[in-house]
């Protein structure tokens, strides 16, 4: 496990400048819910360039799914990316950072899976329109999570905690 973590961290560090460029591009072009065309392009171009099989306009015009690995070879882990902005104030909730972090985690997990030959499927999934409309709800209703074993994301907050509250639901 320590080797996988080290591999993941090294891969993320290797692309730190590129990841910052993703965040800055999204920050500089704030787009409202269901209109995240530029962010969609920036994220999907990067993920495709780095070996993910990308489905653009996945279920929704500004959604995407980027996959590495195969079904049935291990767990299916999904990392979520938000990237919409708020009217008049832009990315006050840090969705540009959530997108950057999601892509970074995707790069790290992919590198660890490749280095160890560990089976499994990794999906980096967009969850746009979070400020209004609920992109996650749209994707849940489209059965996007039906084969996912674990989905995760991070969200900036004004505090640091060693024991965050985890929310989940099982049907």
Q: What is the pLDDT along the chain (171 residues), one digit of tens a residue?
A: 899 999 999 999 999 999 999 999 999 999 999 999 999 999 999 999 999 999 999 999 999 999 999 888 889 999 999 999 999 999 988 999 999 999 999 999 999 999 988 889 999 999 988 888 788 899 999 999 999 999 998 877 777 777 777 666 655
* 34 DSSP assignment: T
Residue 31 placed within a domain: yes
Per the structure, how many domains does the chain have? 1
Q: What is the pLDDT of residue 166?
A: 67
CA-to-CA distance for 149 and 94, rounded, in angstroms?
Answer: 26
Residue 73 placed within a domain: yes
Q: What is the pLDDT of residue 135?
A: 84
Give the number of residues written for the chain. 171
Residue 114 placed within a domain: yes
Q: What is the CATH number of the domain that holds 141?
A: 3.40.630.10
Residue 77 placed within a domain: yes
Residue 132 placed within a domain: yes
CA-to-CA distance for 155 and 147, rounded, in angstroms?
Answer: 24
Residue 171 placed within a domain: no
Residue 158 placed within a domain: no
* Domain hosting residue 72, numbered range: 2-152
Q: Where are the alpha helices (DSSP H) in the chain?
A: 2-14, 16-28, 37-49, 95-116, 135-141
- Contact present, 85 and 29 (Cβ < 8 Å): no
Residue 74 placed within a domain: yes
Q: What is the pLDDT of residue 170?
A: 58
Q: What is the pLDDT of residue 158?
A: 78
């Amino acid at each position: 496990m320590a080797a996988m973590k080290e591999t993941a961290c090294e891969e993320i560090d290797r692309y730190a400048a590129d990841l910052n460029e993703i965040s800055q591009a999204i920050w500089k072009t704030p787009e409202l819910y269901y209109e995240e065309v530029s962010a969609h392009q920036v994220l999907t171009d990067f993920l495709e360039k780095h070996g993910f099989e990308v489905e653009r306009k996945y279920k929704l015009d500004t959604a995407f799914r980027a996959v590495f690995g195969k079904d049935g070879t291990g767990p299916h882990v999904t990392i979520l990316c938000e990237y919409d902005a708020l009217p008049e104030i832009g990315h006050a909730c840090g969705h540009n950072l959530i997108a950057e972090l999601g892509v970074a985690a995707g790069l790290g997990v992919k590198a660890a899976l490749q280095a160890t030959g560990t089976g499994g499927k990794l999906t980096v999934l967009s969850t746009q329109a979070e400020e209004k409309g609920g992109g996650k709800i749209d994707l849940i209703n489209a059965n996007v999570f039906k084969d996912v074993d674990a989905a995760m994301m991070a969200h900036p907050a004004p505090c640091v905690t060693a024991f965050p509250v985890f929310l989940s639901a099982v049907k």
